[in-house]
Amino acid sequence: MQSDERIRRAEPDDVPAIVGLVYELAEYERAPDECHLTPEQLQAALFGPAPAVFCHVAEVDGEVVGCALWFLNFSTWRGVHGIYLEDLFVQPVHRGSGLGKALLLALAQECVRRGYERLEWSVLNWNTPAIDFYKSLGATPQDEWTTFRLTDEPLATLGRVDP
């Protein structure tokens, strides 16, 4: 699949918008009091001397309207790294425009380019629209954990970059 021009890696100037999106996600997930992220924390995590978190953003008309915050994990069974998607959020007004899929596509492409064999995340059990969306991409629930994972052919298919 071809990359979407609306998706790019986050830049330092995006931090306030990303923090705002994380708070919107906390509200959507019915846990606004549990979110305490500050711009300073996110700035250090994304762009400090030893970045441990990475981010792609979705941009519409110059405004950041969605994000995918992720970090590397490691599978001892497969012997390679993977991506753990911590947060995927697109503002409600922009849902249905393909931005969520485009953000996941960008992460799948990261996996394919870097030889990572897993793209996984968790979803709240009540969030059936997200669950249906993830399943439509080929992700499968890990029943004991309600974790979703893209591996093998579904990951390769989603992450394929057309020449």
Q: Using CA atoms of 122, 136, 72, 156 in order, give the dihedral in degrees to the nearest 10.
A: 160
* Residues acting as catalytic residues: 134
Q: Return the amino acid letter for 146.
A: T
DSSP for 10-25?
A: --GGGHHHHHHHHHHH
Locate tokens 């708070």: which residue?
23
- Tokens (6 digits) for 161: 């970059």
